[in-house]
Chain A
Amino acid sequence: MLCDVCGKNQATVHLTEIVDEQMTELHLCEGCAKQKSMQMEQQFGLSDLLAGLADFGKHTGEIEPLKLKCPNCNLTYEDFKKIGRLGCSSCYSTFIRYLLPLLKRIHGTTVHTGKVPKGAAVGVSAADSSFRKTAETTSSPKNDMLELKTKLQEAVRLENFEEAAKLRDKLKELENKPSGVSKNKAPARESSRRKKEQG
């Protein structure tokens, strides 16, 4: 079987993707699969979120996003796995998908209920404002999504599928809304991926 993307190499990786409620099979060569998986990480979409709920290894050929890189400090997911420390506060938004299950394992939950700093909103440095926007402002669509995703994850874990379906619909609604934050971030992703291709 040839790769669905490049049509040149032998497909060795077989992915199942859920797009618009439709299961799609993808047969990829190793190179295209790596690329695809990176793209999925970066989009942080519903499909890969659901895929990510199961153990990564269980999915046939799905590749861990070792090359996923924090745009602020350049720490890769591979670095994180090696050192066990994150590189900067922005790493949390970069690796959020992999951090949530980890935090859950460590603390039994992923939701902060403690102190909120008084000065939280003032004097945010430009470098990190995107994450602060995504994670701090409750009214921001990105943050609602993050919260919904956490809830969805929890619902799926508890096999509460009715609740999960509702949450997924809400998420879809939000995803279809144009969000300033994610649009702004898109070009940065593009370029980092392109760099990767050249290297």
Chain B
Amino acid sequence: MKLDDLINQVSEWLRGTGSDSDIVISSRIRLARNFTGIPFPHWANKEQENKVIEQVKAGISQSAHLKNSLFFMLSDLDNIDKQFLVERHLMSHEHATHPDTKAICLTSNEVISIMINEEDHLRIQVMKSGFDLDDAWQIINKLDDDLSNNFPFAFSKELGYLTACPTNTGTAMRVSIMLHLPVLVMTRQIDRVLDAIAKLSFTTRGLYGEGTQASGNFFQISNQVSLGQKEEEILDKLKGVIRQIIDQEKTARQALLSKHKHMLEDKIWRSYGTLINAHIITSQETVELLSMLRLGQDLGIIKGLERYLINELFILTQPAHLQQIEKKKLNPQERDIKRAELIREKLSIKKINKDNTN
């Protein structure tokens, strides 16, 4: 399997399956791990970084979890390939920016990915569709056990796993849940919700992580504290918070549906209308309209559209994905045209059932 083949499959986290997948897009757990004694990537020389890569490579071949995994040196990938992996949430933007002596390993189903020589020697990630932290934790915990049989990870009984940045010390675990909260946004309740989350020391980010604006009603909620709590405690706390947000969005959806059904239907069908008719469309507008389409599907207003198809469109319409599909570089104007074309094609082959609208 090659990198190019990934474009033909739906990433695990986009399948739109798993519990509460009408509101929870994905569950992601990331663990930072380092080798004892070798300087952290930002402080290491090339030789030391290469040593890390060699050791990880050897360890990967011995882990049952990583049997059919792909391994790339980032210096061997072109810019579109790298951006493509970022858009699929398989690696960070940061990892793509300084590709020297950095590598990535990922399983072909895209559930597991390991960034090598990012901020820490290893950044292990497991990503599942829907609200499925238990499964994600089970996978990553076993994988971590596997790897630590081969490597003595930097660890102190008192401080836990030792990381380049003290904000990750301890469990070195970051848990992120991606939520789609269109109605909390529409009814202007979102600020109140996000304020409450911040007070509980959880952070909120946009679709593409650190420093990005939350766009198209997508929010990523993560734990801030990594030391002093067991992994299971961190997971449970986050689960509790997410459960509450899900309930609030659900309540808001039902209230809106009962009070302003026509307004909601109008908004959703207009979004659909634009998507299947547009000939030029920006990525920003696409995300906003697809968000409405997804809401229509969740509420049963639009039938005959599979959730994974809408989810997939979010990613396929990103710049690097469009260029990967076209197998050539496209400037922004060309991309807006190709994007509209792709959306029309993907949506028009679907039989949309308008029966339940009146």
A125 with B155, Cβ < 8 A, contacts A110-B227, A114-B170, A117-B148 known:
no
Which residues of chain A from 109 to 137 have any CB-CB distance to chain B below 8 Å in the complex?
109-120, 122-128, 131-132, 135-137
CB-CB < 8 A to A88: which residues of B?
Answer: 37-40, 43
Interface pair A89/B37, CB less than 8 Å apart: yes
A108 at the interface (CB under 8 A from B): yes
A107 near B226 (CB under 8 angstroms)? yes
A153 at the interface (CB under 8 A from B): no
Q: How many residues of A are in contact with the other chain, CB < 8 A?
A: 47
Within 8 A of A (CB), among B149-172: 149-167, 169-171
Check B97 for interface membership: any CB of A closer than 8 A: no
A147 to chain B, nearest CB (A): 7
**A84 engages B165 (CB within 8 Å):** yes
Q: Is the interface of A mostly helix, strand, loop or mixed?
A: loop
Chain A residues near B173 (CB-CB < 8 A): 114
Contacts of B153 in A (CB 8 A): 117, 119
Does A87 belong to the interface (CB within 8 Å)?
yes
Residue of B nearest to A123 (CB): B152
Q: How far is the CB of B238 from chain A (nearest CB, A)?
A: 14
With both beta carbons as reference points, the residue of chain A lying nearest to B160 in the complex is identified as: A112
Q: In the complex, what distance in Å separates the CA atom of A103 from the CA atom of B154?
A: 17
Q: Is A23 part of the contact surface with B, judged by Cβ < 8 Å?
A: no
Q: Which residue of A lies closest to B164 (CB)?
A: A85
B166–A99 touching, CB < 8 Å: yes
Which chain B positions have C-beta within 8 A of A192? none
How many Å lie between the Cα of A20 and that of B259 in the bound state?
76
Is A102 part of the contact surface with B, judged by Cβ < 8 Å? yes
In the complex, the answer to whether B37 meets A113 with C-beta atoms within 8 Å is: no
* A16 sits at the interface (CB 8 A): no
Question: Does B265 count as interface, using CB distance less than 8 angstroms?
Answer: no
The one of B150, B157, B165, B226 in contact with A85, judged by C-beta atoms closer than 8 angstroms, is B165
Query: Is A112 within 8 A of B119, CB to CB?
Result: no
Complex: chain A residue closest to B225, CB-CB: A107
Q: Is A182 an interface residue (CB 8 A)?
A: no
- Could you say which residues of chain A place their CB within 8 Å of the CB of B42? 83, 85
Are B229 and A114 closer than 8 Å at their CB atoms?
yes
Asked if B230 contacts A114 (CB within 8 A), the reply is: yes
For the complex formed, measure the closest distance between the CB of A73 and the CB atoms of chain B, giving whole angstroms.
5
One digit per residue, 1 when the CB lies within 8 angstroms of any chain A CB and 0 when it does not, for chain B 132-157 equals 00000000010011001111111111
In this complex, what residue of B is CB-closest to A88? B39
Contact B40 A87, beta carbon cutoff 8 Å: yes
Contact yes or no, B229 A113, CB < 8 A: yes
Given contacts A113-B228, A128-B36, whether A89 and B154 have CB atoms under 8 Å apart is yes
Cβ-based interface call for B231 (8 A): yes
Contact B162 A75 (CB under 8 A): no
Q: Does B318 contact A (CB under 8 A)?
A: no
Q: A85-B119, A125-B152 are in contact. Are A103 and B39 (CB under 8 A)?
A: no
Q: Could you list 16 A-B pairs, sorted by A, with CB under 8 Å?
A: A107-B225, A107-B227, A109-B227, A109-B228, A111-B158, A114-B173, A115-B160, A115-B231, A120-B152, A123-B151, A125-B152, A127-B37, A128-B37, A131-B156, A132-B36, A135-B156
Chain A interface (Cβ within 8 Å of chain B)? 72-73, 75, 83-90, 92, 99, 102-103, 106-120, 122-128, 131-132, 135-138, 143, 146-147, 150
Other A-B pairs beyond A115-B231, A123-B151, 4, CB < 8 Å: A88-B37, A88-B38, A89-B36, A102-B166
